[in-house]
Every structure is written in C-alpha cells, then in structure tokens.
Homo-oligomer: A and B are copies of this chain.
Amino acid sequence: MKKKTLHPTLSQVAREAGVGTTTVSRVINGGHRVNPETLARVRKVIERLGYMPNQAARTLKGHRTKTIGLVIPSIADPFFSNCAEAAQAIARANDSLLMLTVTSNDPRAEMENLDVLIRHRTDGLLIVPANSQSQMLRELLERVAVPVVAIDRPVADSSIASVVCDNFKGAITGTQHLIDHGYKRIVCLTGESTLYTIRERMRGYRKAVEQARLSCIIDTSVKDYKSAEYAIKSLLDGPEPPDAIFATKNSTTIHAFEVLQRLNIPVPQSIALLGFDDFELASTVRPPISVIQQPVEEIGRRAAEILFDQLLDERGTGSPATRHPLQVKLQTRLIQRASCGCTPPTP
C-alpha cells in the first residue's frame, strides 16, 4: 500500500525550519524582508516536505479565490468550446482557475450552477445567459457581490457588461449578399426562436428582405436532419419554391446542406445556401459553404479581459470603474465560398 502523506501545513514547515509562521508566510509570498539565509533554509524545508499552500485558508483570510466561473450552454458545441478555450487562456494568464459549468440552455440548471459558483466565491463570473430576459437571473446577478460579464447574449435591462456579436447587422449582410446575387425567394431556416442571438439574426433577415421588397419566408421547425428534410421538401414542393436559404445557425446550416445533398439538389444552381457561424469543414464540403463568420475566439477573450479589468479596478483605487466599454458589440464577417453562387478566389 502506498502510504500517501497528507498535505503538510505552514506551521509544520515553520516548526521544521525553526522559524515562526510569519516568516514562512513571507517566504512563500515572495520572500521579501527575509534574511537570505533564513530564506534559503525555509525554501529547502518547503521543498523537502513538498509543501503547497492551502488555497481555502488563504481565501478565508479575505483573499480572492483565484477562480472565475464560466457558465455555458454546452462544451461540445465548437462555438462555446472555443470561447471557453480563450477564456481559460486569459484566466491562466491572470493566475486564476476556470470553474466550468454547463446549462444546456436550461434556466433552472443555470440558476443552480450560479448558486454553486457563488458558494465557492469565484472572483468573477462569465455567463452565456440561457434567457436574456430572465428576471430571476438579472436580479441574482445584480444582487451578488461579484463582477459579471455576459457572453454572446446580453442581460436585458441591466448594466451588466457584455460581449456579443452584431447578429443583426451580420444577418443583414448575409441576406443582402443573397439578394445581390439576384435571389428573389429567400427562406430563413431556423430551429429556435427564443434565443437572443437567433432572434437578432431573424430580425436582420427580415429587415434586409423587406427593404428589398421580397417576401419574408421563415421556417422555425428545423431541429435535426429529419425536420430539415421535411421542411425543405415542403418548401420546394410548394407553389413558390425558394431559390436561396439563409440558415440562422451552424447545425441548421449543416442539416440543410445534408438534405440538399441527399436529395441531389444542386447547390447553388437550384438553391443557394448561406449560413450564420462558420465551422471547420465548411470550406471542405462540396460546394464550400458561404457563411457569416463570428470572431469566436475574440468573444471569449474580450469577455475574460473585461472581467479581469473589473477585478483590478475593484481592488485598486476608487477610480471610476467605467473606464471600459461595458457593452462590446463585435462585428461579423461574410466569407464568400461557393454555396451562395460566388466563385471565390482559389486560396
């Protein structure tokens, strides 16, 4: 049986080194104002015992926990996992750990997760709100004594900092691009209509289409391959079949693409396709799919940066904490590939 030694404490180190706890404390906090010889001796004991400070005790004594909480709908989704990766990097650069929780967009799970994170007294909170309108969420976040930054979706009617994309403008750009190609009957395909991001994209689509005096065709039933197939077949068999598809999110784009491919409907000859949110193989499939690209990594990074700025402000002098733009809106980018009818330059 490997007999594992429990964690030695600071006092044990002190006793072993023949000094007081104060001195050891000073040593592990940089060793300032400690006699070089004492320093070396204590360091040796620390090394020998494999001493590692107990963060819980430090925290208790009034210090930060050196952790931040991240609350996201899913880790498996590339959009969020890339956000998380960026946030993690910033946390690490600030000597903090990331506590990760997932909500599956369920407000109840979200509240529970926040509850646990707050019990753990994370220094800050990054959250992708399941429901931008939730009053419970807003109240909790405003009541709690912790800096918060919302990611991807703002918290309505609050002064909570947020980093989101300009989904509205992005959707306009995408839809307008299809219009510029001469498509007349553009359908907006989606599987959601409650999420903030999706609503914004639908709003953008509607705006562009109405401005061009085209008809507004929206199908909100696309949740998987099956439903996509049904929706697209119905649409194409209808009296006025669409000649282009604007898909409001990643999975919708993919499902639509799979259906068109399975049905042997040539893209973009019979129907064009443009999706919101880029994905790894978008440029590999045939035809390559045109998309509105979001600065995924930047979203996570900026959010985390703002959070740590807030932490610094809090700690520092009573200077105005409003130094930072609290509502960041990042711009999207149209990536022209072939599915919209473009002949993109061969890279």
A interface, CB within 8 angstroms of B: 2, 4-7, 50, 52-57, 59-60, 65-67, 74-76, 78, 81-82, 84-85, 88-89, 92, 97-102, 115-121, 142-145, 159, 254, 257-258, 261, 280-281, 284-286
Contacts and interface: CB of A to CB of B under 8 A. Distances in A.
Contact of A7 (B60, B145, B261): B145
Contacts of A99: 67, 97-100
A105 to B, nearest CB: 14
22 contacts: A52-B118, A54-B60, A56-B56, A56-B57, A56-B65, A56-B120, A67-B99, A75-B82, A75-B88, A76-B78, A76-B85, A78-B81, A89-B102, A92-B102, A97-B117, A98-B101, A254-B281, A258-B284, A261-B286, A281-B284, A284-B285, A285-B285
Contact of A284 (B78, B115, B261): B261
Nearest to A61: B56
A176 to B, nearest CB: 28
A286 to B, nearest CB: 6
A156 B92 CA distance: 28
Contacts of A257: 284
Most buried by B among A6, A60, A142: A60
A99 to B, nearest CB: 5
Contact of A54 (B57, B88, B119): B119
Most buried by B among A75, A101, A115, A261: A75
Contacts of A254: 280-281, 284
Contacts of A2: 142, 159
Nearest to A282: B281
A306 to B, nearest CB: 17
Given A52-B118, A100-B100, 19 more contacts: A4-B144, A5-B145, A50-B143, A54-B60, A55-B56, A56-B60, A74-B85, A76-B78, A76-B82, A76-B85, A78-B81, A84-B100, A97-B99, A97-B120, A98-B99, A254-B280, A254-B284, A261-B284, A285-B285
